[in-house]
Amino acid sequence: MRHKFNALVVPSTVALSLVVARAASAQSLADFCPEADPETAAVVGFLYADIGMPLSGTVAASWVADGSRQRIETEAGTNGLFALCGLPMNTEMSLRATSAGRSSPSVVYTTEAPLAQQDLTVSLTADQESVAEAEIGSLSQGSRNRAFSSDIIREEDILELPEMSVLDLLRRHQKLRVDRVTGQGEVILLTDASTSLGGGGGRQGVQVRVDERVERDPVNFLRSLSIDEISRIEILDRGEASARYGGDGWIGAIVIRTKSG
C-alpha cells in the first residue's frame, strides 16, 4: 500500500529507525539516503507478514534500462524497515520482498517522486505455489512465453518478467516440475521423465550447474538467485545432458550462466 510519506518520522539519533506518527513533518531523500545522488529516488517502507507482524528480509527493486535488467536490493531490519536508495527517477519497476524462504507478490511501482513509501507483505499462511501462480497469471502468454517454454532462456527473454527467483521461473517452465522426494527434500524433475533410484522407487532430480559448478542443494540455491543475475539458462534432456557431461547427465541437466560468471 502506498502512503503519503509524512506518516514516517526519522529519530535524530538513528538515521534509519522509523516510527509511525500521526503528526509528522515530511522527510527528504537525504534523511534516508544521505550518500545518494540527489537526482535519484528512494522507496522506503515496512515489510510485514500477513498476520500483521514486522519481518526482516530482503527487498529488491528491478527494472529494465538500456536493454538489460537492473537490480538494487537492501535488507529490512527486525522492525521491518527498509530503504531502497539510488533508484532512477520516472522509471517503472518491480518491487519484491523475501523472508524465511517466502516471497511477497511483485508490486509494480513508478518512481514519480524523489521519496515515497511502499509497504510489502509476505504471506506466512498461504501456499506459495498458489500465490506465485496467481501472480504470474498471463505472463506465460505472448512475447514472454519463451521464458516458460524454451529449451534456452536468454537474458532478453526475461526482461519483462517481474522480480522473481530462478526457482520461481523454473517452477513455471513447461518442461520442469518441482517435487518433494522422501530423503531428498525438493528436487527438480523433467516433466516427461521420472527416474527411479535403485530398487527403492525414489526419484532423483536433474543436475543443476551454475557457471559449470554442480550445485549440491540446487533448489535452495536457486530460490536465492534472482533472474536479474542470469545471462542464460539451458534445459537439457537426458540425451543432450549425457552427450555433454557423460554419466553425470543421465537424468538431464539445467545449465545456468550468470552475468558474473
CB 114 within 8 A of CB 41: yes
88-111: pLDDT as tens digits: 999 999 999 999 888 888 899 999
130-166: pLDDT as tens digits: 655 655 554 445 446 788 889 999 998 988 888 888 9
State mean pLDDT over 187-199: 66
Q: What pLDDT does 214 receive?
A: 94
- 115-118/41-49 β-pairing: parallel
pLDDT score of 200 more than 70: no
Cell of 63: 527494472
pLDDT band at 41 (very low <50, low <70, confident <90, very high): very high
80-89: pLDDT as tens digits: 999 999 999 9
158-169: pLDDT as tens digits: 888 888 889 989
- Of 11-25, 68-82, 201-215, 223-237, the least confident: 11-25
State mean pLDDT over 171-193: 84
Instruction: Give pTM, 2 decimals.
Output: 0.71
* Domain architecture of the chain: domains with CATH: 2-122 (2.60.40.10), 128-258 (2.170.130.10)
